Structure 1
Amino acid sequence: MLGTALAPVLGMLEPTFLSRSQFAWTITIHIIFASLSVGLAPFVVYFTWKDVRTGSQRYARLREFWVTVFAIGFVMGTATGIPMSFQFGTNFPIFSEVTGELIGGPLAFEAKMAFFLEAVFLGILLFGRERVSDRTYVLSSVLVAVGAWLSAFWIIVVNAWMQTPQGYELVDGGSGLEVATMTDPVAALLTPRLPWMYAHMQLSAVIAVALLIAGIAAYFIWHNRDSKVWRTALMIAIVVLIVTAPLQALQGDAYARHVEDTQPAKFAAMEAHYETQTGADLHIVAFPNSLDGLTDPRAENLWTISIPELASVLTGGDADTEVTGLNEFEDTPPVAVVFWSFRVMVGLGIWFIALSLWAGYRAYRGQLTESNRLLAAFMLSTPLGFIAMISGWYTTEVGRQPWIVQDILTVEEGVSETLSTTEALLSFVAFFIVYTLLFLIFVYVIWRIMGRERERIESVAATESADTDPGTTADAATDGGANTARRDDEDAPEQPNIGDEATEGTHK
């Protein structure tokens, strides 16, 4: 009986499951930093442009703060991204051998074309404000953003090909192993999944960072309601959310139809449809009637709020469209993981729309920073964009199982034949500990940066309070307005970057 009870646990202690778990954890941590770069890049460009164009100290502060956060995320993304490619050799060498000709080029482009572009001009953003012209400085921010978005493009090219492979043929690679050789480079790069996945991922990253900015801004406003710097940041984040959150819902709906057309087993798992039927309902929310429903969600053990026949309508345009059920497939993904991760993503997406509309209404009424509930909602929502994105990524990747490349190679076939359980377990534990520590270090560093910014805000508030004290009037007159210069300085023009007007002219 003990052996029977331990069978599921012992089944996990084998190279395939451990290798999958190791890669899943490393990509979970890495995607946080990668999406931080992608989502923050447009904000960095905007803050840099506004700083240079207006000379306002508030935009200078926002630029400095968020360029620092971007740089830290970039370093962490590099530290967590490079070891991921090692796993292709240590854990998945057969996958590398079979698909190397198709995925090697895009991965090399990502490193040489995008990563180095981003790295070089990030150095100018960090250290070149006093050393280069304003035009060069703004251009550097744009090129950093281009590098971040180009990097994401090449990674998505690889993953999209794994989801909907084309432009290849399988040939004998020796030793009885068939390998994919490229027959059409354009088709291999521009797969059917690429535009859908890239748009969805980029929007997800922008939404996640907009929530991050809004949450941090709400935190600072909570401590100083008069901070013009962070009121500006909050308003910008809200505007972005009002545009992107509903747009993501519309794009995601169309994306789901594409998934049903190209990966029907994944779509069936997303909706827990086991039987092929017409007039299939679309589950808006679904909860299990029993504990069994958590691990094996089916129509008969779920309490749902559904829209009748909508799944069929969305799939084919009318209620008579047939939706293929999981029972039609020999190889199916783990339904519970796909089903629940999809619902976490969709549920959070609905919350983002509601939150943005709530904030937009308060801003329209001129009461944006007066509501403690709204500020608290933003602070509590700070990590939710990243959680939604990770949930969506789980839906995408787990929904493809058991295939590592759809209909070409399974995960089990792609794992090293010589990897022992002990080696896989030690590797998994090591990666889990190291990546967890890196994430905790990142959180700690960001918290320290926020602590310094809060001290600055509190210092400014104390100075302004002292300036309004009647007892300081004489001192203020003696200072000749020096106290005015020591204030938050958020609307004052930024001081010239180089000391005299002649050099300032060359700077411009």
Structure 2
Amino acid sequence: MDALLLSRIQFAANISFHILFPTISIALGWWLVFFRWRWVRTRDVRWLMAWRYWTKIFALTFAMGVVSGITMSFQFGTNWPGYMERVGNIAGPLLGYEVLTAFFLEATFLGVMLFGAERVSERVHLLASCLVAFGTSLSAFWILSLNSWMQTPTGFEVIDGEFHVRSWAEVVFNPSFPYRLVHMLLASGLTVSFLLAGATALRVLRGTASPAAPLVMRAALSVAAVLVPLQILAGDAHGLNTLQHQPQKIAAIEGVWHTERGAPLVLFGLPDEATRTTRHAIEIPRVASLILTHDADGEIRGLNEFAGQHPPVAPLFWGFRVMVGVGLLMLAVSWLGWWQLRRVQWQPQRLPRWQLQALRWMGFSGWVATLAGWYVTEIGRQPFIVFGQLLTRDVVASVPASHVALTLTGYLLVYALLLSAYVMVLRYMSEKPLAQPGTPSPEEFVKGHPA
């Protein structure tokens, strides 16, 4: 493998590791606001116990996200210097806005949220929690604005090979940005909802569930059951937008090799770029055109129209199906889980063991769907780094492939250890026995934590 491919794999490894943690922290911040607000309103100690437990996980997740984001940004200089040289006038300010607004907001009030519960008033503490949660969402706003601009660039002009801003409004609110922002925020909400439900199910199975388990399980499954259909609608709108601006990406996703009307929906198959066919395809006639154009006879442009200018087919074909498959599984598990939980008066301890196991194993399903979706998005932009404007091969650093391979190996080893440690800590916190000799009752807990 040459330096270009190795550098792409290294950046993919970095962003794959990094995206796991913002995907949790974005929505978990708002869940903590909800838990705290419910405690303030109802004085039900169970909400306070839920808030204290998940605040620890938020702190750990936030720290992991910050550290992995810093190492990822270094690669703009080490592996992709041409990117900042050519696009720095746009990428630099957008990344700077993220730091000056979102990160500073989070860093300022995170300490109050984590350590100020017994030192400031409840109103001030709730406000600090809201600002931290808003900061995580604002961070997603700026990062997705830049990433979306790389997918659908607008509002710029090229002077002497460098990109310059013509309209910041067009740059920030580029054609794909609203769809991708909504899609990502919903993905974060689903990821955290299933993490809450999965961790609670594990604690029930291990006999370590706290009195807050019924409240957390009910809230998590209720939110998941609502967000999955919304995500399906957002995904449909996003697909229509992608068909308009990046038709070759859609063609690769659907395995459409030749332009045709009434294109079939390929459920499964083996894409073969050498023969430009999908072998052993299982198809539903005309459904791809119906979904993508809302017309059963709608035209879908095939990959034959983009010779040499389309992404690799297999990663997009399978990545999209993994994302959709996990999404449909989320729909089934959340709706069935909510219905069964309602039947047992919202007591997760009374759920069938197989149902608890299903929720447990779906705990990290949001990560799988998010990674699959990001691979479809990012690989689907190739061979461009700025779609239609700047080729990836033109901005890579001229370093020996062996050097990139060495650093890539180091990254993979460190990330594997960190991710394993993170999951082990979450599992330990879920399995840690709650009731030990001397453990205070809920009433004693409140007396010892007056905030």
- TM-score scaled by length of structure 1: 0.84
The code of the aligned residue for 1:231 comes to: P
Deviation at 1:492, TM superposition (A): 8.1
CA apart distance, 1:251: 1.0
The residue that corresponds to 2:102 in the other structure is 114
Equivalent position of 2:426 in the other structure: 446
- Offset at 1:363? 2.3
Relative to structure 1, the CA distance from residue 132 to residue 295 in structure 2 (aligned partners, 3 Å threshold; closer, same or farther) is farther
Segments of structure 1 that go 5 or more residues without pairing to the other structure are 1-11, 173-177, 464-482, 499-506
**Structure 2 counterpart of 1:237, which letter?**
A
Asked if 1:103 is matched to 2:111, the reply is no
The alignment partner of 1:456 has SS state of coil
Counterparts of 1:370 and 1:68 in 2: how far apart (Å)?
A: 27
Q: Choose the corresponding residue for 1:228, options 193, 211, 229.
A: 211
Amino acid at match of 1:15: A
Alignment of 1:174-323 (within 5 A): 178-224=161-207, 227-283=210-266, 285-288=267-270, 293=271, 300-306=278-284, 308-323=285-300
CA deviation string 1:297-353 (max 9, x = no partner): 9655133252x2222223333223210001110211110001000000000000011
Which residue in 1 is equivalent to 2:47? 59
TM-score by length of 2: 0.94
One-letter code of the match for 1:222? L
Matched position secondary structure for 2:157: strand
**Which region of structure 1 is more displaced relative to structure 2, 136-145 or 426-435?**
426-435
SS in structure 1 at match of 2:282: strand
C-alpha contact (below 8 Å) 1:57/1:492 kept by paired residues: no
Aligned with residue 353 of structure 2, among 347, 364, 372: 372
Q: Distance in 1 between matches of 2:208 and 2:414?
A: 39
The change in CA–CA distance for 1:237 and 1:492 in structure 2 (over 3 A counts) is farther
Match of 1:353 among 331, 340, 353: 331
Q: Distance in 1 between matches of 2:176 and 2:250?
A: 14
Q: Separation in 2 of the partners of 1:119 and 1:225?
A: 33
Percent identity of paired positions between Structure 1 and Structure 2 = 37
- Provide the rounded CA distance (Å) in 2 between the counterparts of 1:107 and 1:258: 25
Task: Kindly state the Cα deviation for residue 373 of structure 1 after the two structures are TM-superposed.
Answer: 1.2
SS at match of 2:268: strand
Q: How far apart, in 1, do the equivalents of 2:275 and 2:84 lie?
A: 35
CA distance in 2, matches of 1:131, 1:385: 35
Question: Matched residue of 2:164: which SS?
Answer: strand
Alignment partner for residue 29 of structure 2, among 28, 41, 46? 41
In structure 1, what is the Cα distance between the partners aligned to 2:430 and 2:23?
A: 20
Query: Does structure 1 conserve the Cα–Cα contact (< 8 Å) formed by 2:89 and 2:164?
Result: yes
**What value does the CA root-mean-square deviation take over the aligned residues?**
2.0
Aligned partner of 1:400: which letter? R
* Partner residue in 2 for 1:402: 383
Q: Counterparts of 1:492 and 1:370 in 2: how far apart (Å)?
A: 29
- Within a 5 Å distance, the mapping from 1:5-24 to structure 2 comes to 12=1, 14-24=2-12
Q: CA deviation at 1:77?
A: 0.6
Paired residue type of 1:383: F
Residue from 304, 307, 313 that aligns with 1:327: 304
* Structure 2 residues without counterparts, runs of 5 or longer: none
Q: Which has the larger radius of gyration?
A: 1
Query: Distance in 1 between the 2:76 and 2:182 partners?
Result: 26
| Residues 309 and 297 of structure 1: CA distance in aligned 2, closer, same or farther (over 3 Å) | farther
Q: Distance in 1 between matches of 2:356 and 2:197?
A: 9
Aligned position for 1:504: none
Alignment partner of 1:143 is 2:126: no
Residue number in structure 1 paired with 2:405: 425
Residue in structure 2 matched with residue 466 of structure 1 by the alignment: none
Pick closer, same or farther for the CA change 1:168–1:31 going to 2, 3 Å. same
The Cα offsets for residues 467-503 of structure 1, whole Å up to 9 and x where unpaired, read as xxxxxxxxxxxxxxxx9x944x2x88832745xxxxx
Count of aligned pairs between the two proteins: 447
Instruction: Please point out which of 322, 326, 338 is paired with 2:316.
Output: 338
Contact 1:56–1:493 under 8 Å retained in 2:
no
The equivalent residue for 2:113 is: 125
Give the Å deviation of 1:90: 0.7
Residues 296 and 335 in structure 1, CA contact (< 8 A), matched pair in contact too: no
Distance across 1 between alignment mates of 2:422 and 2:341: 32
SS in 1 for 2:447: coil
Offset of residue 95 of structure 1: 0.9
Task: Tell me whether 401-410 or 365-374 shows the greater mean CA deviation.
Answer: 365-374
Residue 34 of structure 1: how far off its partner (Å): 1.2
- What is the identity, as a one-letter code, of the residue corresponding to 2:115? F
Q: Describe the superposition over 1:56-89 as per-residue Cα deviations: whole angstroms up to 9, x where unpaired.
A: 2211111111111011011111110011111011
Secondary structure of the corresponding residue to residue 281 of structure 2: strand
